[in-house]
Amino acid sequence: MEAHHGGFLFTGSCNLKFDKPAITFDQQIDLLIKRGMVVSDRDYAHHYLAHLNYYRLGAYWLPFEAEHTSHTFKPNTNFNDVVSLYVFDRELRLLIMDAIERLEVSIRTQWAHQLAHSYGSHAYLNSAIFKSKGLHDDNLAKLKKELGRSKEVFISHYKRNYSEPSLPPIWAVVEVMTLGQLSKWVSGLARGQDRQSIARNYGIDELLLTSFLHHLSIVRNLCAHHSRLWNRRFSFQFKMPRHPEELHVSLNPDQKKQLYNTLVILEYMMNIISPDHHWKKRLISLFDKHPIANSNAMGFPVDWKSRPVWQEK
């Protein structure tokens, strides 16, 4: 049997019957104390357990466990530190969502602009410019579904005023795409030069762009569902730049499955999209505010703050 802490995924077979009863918030506090956690303020602990869920917080006190089977904690494990780690992770998700939103809007713009000028106002309806008809049909079906439930004024305006084609132009439909859909529309382009026409706006090659978009769609879904980013290992790794020195970025090739490299490329892209941003300053401040958040657990090099990509220009 395999069980994922923090979720409900189980594989294999087991004949055990689940018989654990629900316990009150005060009983949860007593259980944590019994297992060795320091709870200096019961009212504080009661408040957070009542609003954050014991099971959700468990993902953040897991690293503090001395022995997982008995769930006993290492000496001096403090409930306040667990909450601080949770708050750090929540604020990190919000910070990342800010950067992803700017990047998503920018790539939507470039995708629509490049295809409209190369293939016309309804380029996305032309299956010939995509890798396969099956892939195109699937992407188009999902896009039509988004259009069907959209309440955007520009969509209803088009429907009222135009009969052919039945769908709006590319610069309108792109506004209802999810990031996951946008990723598939970009990577699904048959011609490398079409993908590169988008990527060159960010000074990168199309292989990095398409794989990073796929990776970001996973990260964004985790953020949108309030899932943990701290200490997470990603199953999908985006392709590392072939010449990172040309981008003036400091990646960590030894930790490809963790968050650090994602943040480096996001910061690089933010410098192009929004040059006057203060995103990296906010990221550094977040770590300074929550020293309990071990950056090594996210693949950060020990000297990350001194590397050029994180220095103020």
Give 138-151 pLDDT, tens digit per residue. 999 999 999 888 88
**CA-to-CA separations, 1 to 12, 65, 128, in angstroms, rounded:** 4, 22, 47
Quick: pLDDT tens for 243-302: 777 777 888 888 889 999 999 999 999 999 998 889 999 999 999 999 999 899 899 999
d(CA 86, CA 226): 11
C-alpha closest to that of 273 among 113, 129, 101, 68 = 101
d(CA 262, CA 96): 10
Residue 157 above 90 pLDDT? no
Tell the burial category of 183 from Cβ atoms under 10 Å away from its Cβ (0-12, 13-18, 19+). Answer: buried
At 23 the pLDDT is: 92
C-alpha closest to that of 45 among 71, 27, 65 = 27
At 14 the pLDDT is: 64
At 91 the pLDDT is: 97
Ramachandran region of residue 82, left (φ > 0), alpha (ψ -120 to 50) or beta? Answer: alpha
Residues 100-126 have a mean pLDDT of: 97
pLDDT band at 128 (very low <50, low <70, confident <90, very high): very high
The overall average pLDDT reported for the chain is 90
d(CA 164, CA 125): 12
Cis check: omega of the bond before 165, within 30 degrees of 0? yes
Residue 106 above 90 pLDDT? yes
Quick: pLDDT tens for 28-54: 999 999 999 999 999 999 999 999 999
d(CA 206, CA 201): 10
Q: Which SS3 state, helix, strand or coil, does residue 241 take? A: coil
At 313 the pLDDT is: 67
Quick: pLDDT tens for 297-310: 899 999 999 998 88
Quick: pLDDT tens for 9-34: 445 556 788 778 889 999 999 999 99
Q: Which SS3 state, helix, strand or coil, does residue 72 take? A: strand
Quick: pLDDT tens for 62-99: 989 998 889 999 999 999 999 999 999 999 999 999 99
